[in-house]
Amino acid sequence: MSAVIEKRPDTELAAIGGGGAPGLRSRLSNPWGKPRFLVATTWLYIAWALLPVLLAILFSFNAGRSRSVWQGFSTRWWWGDPVQSIFHDPDYTSALLQSLRLAALDMVIATPLGVLLALGLARWRGRGAGSANLLMLIPLVTPELVMAVSLLLVFTQITIVPFSLVHLGTTAQIVGQVTFSLSYVVVIVRSRLASIGKEYEEAARDLGATRWGALRLVLLPLLLPAILASMLIVFALSIDDFVVTQYMSGGYSTITIPMYLYANARGGATTPALNALATILVVATLIGIGAAYLLYSVLSRRTSTADPTALVELSLQA
Tell me which of 93, 142, 210, 305 binds another protein, using CB under 8 A: 142
Site for another protein in 45-104 (CB under 8 A): 45-46, 48-50, 52-53, 55-56, 59, 66-69
Under the binding rule (CB under 8 A), the answer on residue 141 touching another protein is yes
Tell me which of 96, 102, 117, 295 binds another protein, using CB under 8 A: 117
Site for another protein in 219-278 (CB under 8 A): 236, 239-240, 242-243, 247, 258, 261-262, 265-266, 274-275, 278
Stretch of 73-81, 85-93, 156-164, 223-231 contacting another protein, by CB under 8 A: 156-164
**288 φ, ψ (degrees, to nearest 5):** -60, -45
Give me the DSSP letters along 234-284: HHHHHHH--HHHHHT--SGGG--HHHHHHHHTT-SS--THHHHHHHHHHHH
3-state secondary structure of 9: coil
Tell me which of 63, 105, 108, 152 binds another protein, using CB under 8 A: 152
Stretch of 76-84, 100-108, 175-183, 219-227 contacting another protein, by CB under 8 A: 175-183
Of 82 and 235, CB closest to another protein: 235
DSSP 306: T
Q: In whole angstroms, how close is the CB of 124 to another protein at the nearest point?
A: 5
Q: In whole angstroms, how close is the CB of 52 to another protein at the nearest point?
A: 4
Of 23 and 162, CB closest to another protein: 162
Cβ atoms 239, 284 nearer than 8 A: yes
Tell me which of 186, 214, 226, 295 binds another protein, using CB under 8 A: 186
Site for another protein in 190-229 (CB under 8 A): 211
Calculated CA dihedral for residues 41, 44, 49, 50, nearest 10 degrees: 140
CA distance linking residue 150 with residue 134, whole number of Å: 18
CA distance linking residue 88 with residue 86, whole number of Å: 5
Q: In whole angstroms, how close is the CB of 310 to another protein at the nearest point?
A: 10
φ/ψ region of 9 (left if φ > 0, alpha if ψ in -120 to 50, else beta) reads beta
Number of residues interacting with another protein: please give it, by CB under 8 A.
Answer: 106
C-alpha torsion sign, points 269, 273, 279, 285: negative
Of 82 and 146, CB closest to another protein: 146
3-state secondary structure of 203: helix
CA distance linking residue 219 with residue 206, whole number of Å: 14
Site for another protein in 289-318 (CB under 8 A): 289, 306-309, 311-312, 315-316
Q: In whole angstroms, how close is the CB of 113 to another protein at the nearest point?
A: 5
Calculated CA dihedral for residues 59, 65, 71, 74, nearest 10 degrees: -70
Under the binding rule (CB under 8 A), the answer on residue 13 touching another protein is yes
